[in-house]
Structure 1
Amino acid sequence: MQFTAKVTDISKQRSACAILAVDNKNRFTDSGSILDKANGGNLAKLLKRGDLGSAAGSTLLVPTLDGSAERVLLVRTSKTPVSATEFRKLASASANGVKSLKDATSYLSEVSVEGVDATWQAQQITLAAGLAGYKFTRCHSDAKPYPLAKFIVHAADKKQLKATQKGVDLGSGQAMGSNIARELGNLPGNICTPSYLASEAKALAKKHAKLTTTVLDNKKMESLGMGAFMSVAKGSDEPAAMIAMNYKGGKTGQKPIVLVGKGITFDTGGISLKPGMQMDEMKFDMCGAASVFGVMNALVEMNAPVNVVGVVAAAENMPSGRASKPGDIVTSMSGKTIEILNTDAEGRLVLCDALTWAGKFKPSVVIDVATLTGACVIALGNHATGLYANQDKLADELLAAGETTGDRAWRMPLWDEYQPMLNSNFADMQNIGGREAGSVTAACFLARFAEDYNWAHLDIAGSAWKSGAAKGATGRPVPLLLQYILNKK
């Protein structure tokens, strides 16, 4: 989709649809008043008739007979100025209202919003439009993508054009990265294998000179002592892959931000087999890896002036005669031994070796992203990502990035008092801490392998995908991560 910021005259701007806000007293913004006048006051008459709902985010698509716009999408706001949360709702509702059209021009930038600037508003409008325009079509025989190909965000004047364009660029990058993550997450496990992810990483490097890709195969990982990772991978006929996408867009010698994504392309639970109901959704267990791919794709397309390494720990977790058994003890790359009490707690086993390997890049910070625990879903539901960090400043910056984008996180405790729950009689630690505080003890496990650098863990088990009628990957936390990274440039 092509996104543009433009100072437009609504009476002359040709468009398949103009998106206009209407407040709770049926008042238009400036451009809406101009267009209503050009249509002989007919838009105002429709509002008086009550055709547009009263709830914030209600929409009404109206064909026009006069003026340059073929249609108008009216979007209801509450009393202005509106909150940031409401504005995101308006942006999303309007984007979904025009995604079946060929193009649209949004005048939502004229809505007064509490405590934000033109850049933020343009970012939210563009991000919403980009997300709404995604549809998974690859495995359908007759499905077609949404036709929306061109989207213009109105800037009030030439003074605001630069700020609006900045927001459009940021929002379009976040949408693109999110949609790449969604596409990978939605692919079935028989297509999106560890080898497929490795090939995607290599293809990305071929297209961009500033990015190089390294892939470790099973033999190399075994030689490096990645016993925890290989304890998961060995149960599958699919070869595993440890992938590093190294983007050097920043200053030479500048320490990189390292992102580590859990890439379990299908998770049966291993010998600790999961229940059969909804097991198909375990193709989403690589959404952490998908988000890393989304971020890396966005960074190279934006030519961002940062150094970032995207590490993906990709494997299948399958039951077989070679699979790990409960009670097995393995040695991680760090030399620490782990008693595997539950083979379905496999994400932390692949991530702990990935976190050790990440140290070789001499990172400024390491952030791992993983659909790690069902316990996080119980704690936070589907709205917030669980955030753990060993540094307050890092946690605060990630939380702020989430608030800016609406891709929100909530900080969880990483206290020493939880660490004894991982004690083992037979090894340095066990891979589960029991039923209580399951997301916390999983983070405590990972923290033992991230002691040498600033580190954060994002548990996206609740936020990475939706179930039910809207089943599909969300692309989170790509917006949060990109916002954090670009704030650091």
Structure 2
Amino acid sequence: MDFRSQSIGPSGLGSLAADALLVVVVGDHAPDTLDAPLAALITDAVAQGDFAFKAGRSLYVHRPAGMKAGRLVLAAASAATPKAFKAAVSAGLGPLKALGAKHLVVACVGAPLTAGHADALVAAVGDAVYLYTHTKPSAPAPSKLAKVTLACARDEAAGLQKGLARAAAVHAGVTLARECANRPGNYATPTYLAEQALALGKTFGFKVQAFDRKAVEKIGMGSFLSVAQGSDEPLRFIVMQYQGGAKNDAPVVLVGKGITFDTGGISLKPGGEMDEMKFDMGGAASVLGAMRAIGQLKPKVNVVALIPACENMPSGRAVKPGDVVTSLSGQTIEILNTDAEGRLILCDALTYAERFKPRAVVDIATLTGACVIALGHVHSGLFTADDTLAADLLAAGDAGLDTAWRMPLDDEYAEGLKSNFADVANVGGRPGGAITAAMFLKRFAAKYRWAHLDIAGTAWKGGAAKGATGRPVALLTHFVLSQAR
């Protein structure tokens, strides 16, 4: 998709020869500066009750009189914010998705544009045109839309073009994350994730390693191995290194949970909606997507990505409730519930991260249903004891329209993880389940600045709209960019 900005005043919108024109109107009236045919059309549509200056309202007009664009959509925005602009663009794109427009011009009248509006535009277009087809030959034909131009004032053009370039890279990363997560578990295996990482390395010059079981045994990742031992599918531990800063600069480390299918193991999940457990590698997918965006944008910062990838399956070899395993850190873990497996693979990756002497480590995981109960599907859960790191991640989420909400990490929450037979149990009780999961991970991240993102409620949607969202690629990319020197 080609995204670009163009200096076009409100009075020139009627002369645009694009296939389609989407006009977002902010406020409770059409500006006086609009050219006459467009202003007259809006006035008449409001008078006839076909359009109103209320959020969510839109109107499609085919071959509008006095205008060169063959298709016109009006969409009302509730405010001038990027979030409101994105909602309006999304509503306006609805009637255009199935049509033949190849070039769309988007204009916002009644408010100035910022770089945040560029992120909003690209995210809205990306959501509208994305179509999963890999295992669905009968899927409808993809959108023909190939070029999107953001009309703007002359003094806004340079900033918006920079914002569009950044947003386009994020969009490519989000698309990769969605493609990886949407593939069924018999397609998106640990080996497949390693292949995606190696392909990114070849394209963008990353150093990539994909360790097999023998190598992981040699490293000493006993906790990770315990989860993988019940599956016939080979595990992979993926290490990606992007060198954008000075050689000795401490890197940012991203750690993505890569459970490519989660049955719960011996603690078997209920059958209903278990198919959605193919999305349990959403953390790994988002890390791959963020690295895709980073490779395109080339920020001056060093980044390491770590992805422990395996299946969690029941078998005669599978780990059992009550088993005790030894993690890479040397700490022993009593596995009370084999369905709390994500933290078992992440803890060894967090210990492995120590060797990079990182400036900060962020792990990303579809970790707990408890986080979905706490935050629903709006915000990802953010856990960290570092106020500066929390502020940076929250700001990155706001900038990328990919928000998070900070959750507590008080020491008292660790009480439920005590074990009579090991250094720590892998689960506590039901109360505060997302927090106790984070407290478990915190034990293995004591030697550096660390944050945990629980994306169980945001990495995918269920129901009729079932599919991966690509979150939190935007948050991670904006965070990494904020760390560049």
| TM-score relative to the length of structure 1 | 0.94
Residue number in structure 1 paired with 2:138: 142
User: Is 1:404 the counterpart of 2:399 in the alignment?
Assistant: yes
The count of aligned residue pairs is 477
Report the CA distance between 1:90 and its aligned residue. Answer: 1.5
2:262–2:278 Cα contact (<8 Å) kept: yes
2:24–2:89 Cα contact (<8 Å) kept: no
Q: Distance in 1 between matches of 2:337 and 2:26?
A: 55
User: Is 1:160 the counterpart of 2:163 in the alignment?
Assistant: no
- Report SS of the residue matched to 1:46: helix
Q: Distance in 2 between matches of 1:467 and 1:330?
A: 34
Matched to 1:77, the amino acid is A
1:172-200: CA deviation from partner (whole Å, max 9, x where unpaired): 22222112111111110000000010111
Identity of aligned residues (%): 48
Report the CA distance between 1:127 and its aligned residue. Answer: 2.2
Q: Distance in 1 between matches of 2:243 and 2:430?
A: 42
User: Is 1:421 the counterpart of 2:416 in the alignment?
Assistant: yes
User: Is 1:395 the counterpart of 2:390 in the alignment?
Assistant: yes
Q: Distance in 1 between matches of 2:295 and 2:186?
A: 28
2:282–2:459 Cα contact (<8 Å) kept: yes
Q: Distance in 2 between matches of 1:137 and 1:28?
A: 42
Matched to 2:7, the amino acid is V
Matches within 5 A, 1:262-301: 262-301=257-296
Aligned pair partner of 1:99 in 97, 100, 107: 97
Residue number in structure 1 paired with 2:75: 75
Residue number in structure 2 paired with 1:329: 324
Report the CA distance between 1:86 and its aligned residue. Answer: 2.3
1:77-127: CA deviation from partner (whole Å, max 9, x where unpaired): 34xx5445423321322344433332210102x4427xxx62222221222
1:376-410: CA deviation from partner (whole Å, max 9, x where unpaired): 11111111111001311001111111122221111
User: Is 1:22 the counterpart of 2:25 in the alignment?
Assistant: yes
Report the CA distance between 1:29 and its aligned residue. Answer: 7.1
Matches within 5 A, 1:336-355: 336-355=331-350
Matches within 5 A, 1:250-265: 250-265=245-260
- Report SS of the residue matched to 1:10: helix
Residue number in structure 1 paired with 2:128: 132
Residue number in structure 2 paired with 1:456: 451
Q: Which runs of 4+ in 1 moved over 6 A?
A: none
Residue number in structure 1 paired with 2:35: 33
- Report SS of the residue matched to 1:107: strand
Residue number in structure 2 paired with 1:12: 15
Structure 2 stretches of 5 or more lacking a match? none
- Mean Cα displacement is larger for which, 313-322 or 136-145? 136-145
Matched to 1:36, the amino acid is L
Residue number in structure 2 paired with 1:315: 310
Residue number in structure 2 paired with 1:220: 215
- Mean Cα displacement is larger for which, 198-207 or 336-345? 198-207
Report the CA distance between 1:309 and its aligned residue. Answer: 1.2
Residue number in structure 1 paired with 2:196: 200
User: Is 1:469 the counterpart of 2:468 in the alignment?
Assistant: no
Matched to 1:5, the amino acid is S
2:116–2:163 Cα contact (<8 Å) kept: yes
1:10-53: CA deviation from partner (whole Å, max 9, x where unpaired): 243321111113356441474x435526xxx3443223211125
Residue number in structure 1 paired with 2:84: 86
Residue number in structure 1 paired with 2:173: 177
Q: Distance in 2 between matches of 1:306 and 1:327?
A: 43
Q: Distance in 2 between matches of 1:23 and 1:130?
A: 22
Q: Distance in 2 between matches of 1:98 and 1:290?
A: 29
Q: Distance in 1 between matches of 2:363 and 2:204?
A: 24
Matched to 2:20, the amino acid is C
Residue number in structure 2 paired with 1:447: 442
- Report SS of the residue matched to 2:132: coil
Q: Distance in 2 between matches of 1:425 and 1:29?
A: 74
Q: Distance in 1 between matches of 2:350 and 2:51?
A: 53
Q: Distance in 2 between matches of 1:166 and 1:94?
A: 24
1:228–1:349 Cα contact (<8 Å) kept: yes
- Mean Cα displacement is larger for which, 15-24 or 282-291? 15-24
2:368–2:454 Cα contact (<8 Å) kept: yes
- Mean Cα displacement is larger for which, 129-138 or 89-98? 89-98
Q: Distance in 2 between matches of 1:302 and 1:83?
A: 25
Compared with structure 1, are the counterparts of its residues 326 and 29 closer, same or farther at alpha carbon in structure 2 (3 Å cutoff)? farther
Residue number in structure 2 paired with 1:151: 148
| TM-score relative to the length of structure 2 | 0.95
Matched to 2:373, the amino acid is I
Q: Distance in 2 between matches of 1:450 and 1:306?
A: 21
Matched to 1:333, the amino acid is L
